[in-house]
Amino acid sequence: MAKKQSGLGKGLDSLLTGPKPTSNVVLSHAGVSEIAIEKITPNPDQPRKTFNDAVLQDLADSIKEHGVITPITVKKSGVDSYQIIAGERRWRASKLLGLAKIPAFVREAEDDNKLLVLGLVENLQRENLDPIEVAQAYQRLIEEGGLTQEQLGKQVGKNHATIANSLRLLKLSPEIQVGLMNGDISEGHAKSILSLDDENKQKEIYTEIIAKGLSVRATEDLVRRLKDGKKPSKKIAKSKEQKEIQERISTKLNTKIALSVTERGSGKISIPFKNARELEAIVALFDKI
């Protein structure tokens, strides 16, 4: 599966086109520019003055593996310089990593705040955005638009709980966020994963979902067992015959299926699909059998 570009989707990006490319700014995709880190400075009015070194290093390690998923936001502070509006931790972690450039939204003026809010709200209501793109848009509206979660809810016609749950998705590790953006897991899966506080356990569950094609209900059961202190059922290696059966079924259905078997010989076959069209194609194949 081809991975999507990180950051906001093209619907939101198209509203806020970045500056024309210069020697230090390269336009990547609509609305997001790759800006030389050395041309960016922190906001002196930023209330946070100290940054935890260990947390920054963890973020740097994450960026090294997955890149900067959510662009920072900057404003012009000179002919060829920029000041951070939001995202200083991402900027510091990228600098720590030794990156030359970082993806950023460029605000040309402070008085375009109303346009930003109106544009993002309009696109949230009409564009087919994935859950991470929606959460990123909410975060931008809060950070740059100066909205509270309650005010944001009124703007987009959502209740406070919906806004809060959406924003929580940004607390997932980058690996899981990318999986959600690519459609490898659903928002229901993500919410189940978030009910675990331990990041290692979250990644363990995520890996299990991908490997076994678990449904949201099965994921909820697995998370519940972990919370109750029960270990997941032991994974049994498939025999050569079972692998051949899995391959035959996959070939027949023209899609990758997952076959799992327990110690007692029981098990299940999972047939994943990405959309209604793929489901219809699978059903049509069964009709011919």
pLDDT digits (tens, 9 = 90+) for 3-36: 444 443 333 343 333 333 333 443 334 468 899 9
- Better-scored residue on pLDDT, 108 or 138: 138
If asked whether residues 31 and 142 sit together in one domain, one would say yes
194 pLDDT tier (thresholds 50, 70, 90): very high
Residue 157 sits in a domain whose CATH number is: 3.90.1530.10
If asked whether residues 148 and 18 sit together in one domain, one would say yes
The reported pLDDT for the residue numbered 13 is 41
Q: Would the pLDDT of 147 be above 70?
A: yes
Q: Is 88 designated active site?
A: yes
What is the value of pTM for the model shown?
0.50
Give the chain as a DSSP string.
-PPPPSSS-HHHHTTS--PPPBTTEEEEETTEEEEEGGGEE--TT-S-----HHHHHHHHHHHHHH--SS-EEEEEEETTEEEEEE-HHHHHHHHHHT-SEEEEEEES-GGGHHHHHHHHHHHHHHS---HHHHHHHHHHHHHTT---HHHHHHHHT--HHHHHHHHHGGGS-HHHHHHHHTTSS-HHHHHHHHT---HHHHHHHHHHHHHHT--HHHHHHHHHHHHTTPPPPPPPPPPHHHHHHHHHHHHHHTS--EEEE-TTS-EEEE---SSHHHHHHHHHHHHH-
If asked whether residues 74 and 131 sit together in one domain, one would say yes
The reported pLDDT for the residue numbered 231 is 54
The reported pLDDT for the residue numbered 101 is 92
- Which listed residue (34, 38, 88, 187) is catalytic? 88
If asked whether residues 115 and 196 sit together in one domain, one would say no
The reported pLDDT for the residue numbered 265 is 67
Is residue 173 domain-resident? no
If asked whether residues 191 and 244 sit together in one domain, one would say no
What is the number of structural domains in the chain? 3
If asked whether residues 90 and 148 sit together in one domain, one would say yes
pLDDT in tens, 257-277: 777 776 666 677 777 776 777
If asked whether residues 126 and 18 sit together in one domain, one would say yes
Is residue 5 domain-resident? no
If asked whether residues 98 and 159 sit together in one domain, one would say yes
The reported pLDDT for the residue numbered 21 is 34
Q: Would the pLDDT of 88 be above 60?
A: yes
Structural domain for 244, as ranges = 240-288
If asked whether residues 118 and 195 sit together in one domain, one would say no
If asked whether residues 15 and 158 sit together in one domain, one would say yes
If asked whether residues 115 and 161 sit together in one domain, one would say yes
If asked whether residues 92 and 117 sit together in one domain, one would say yes
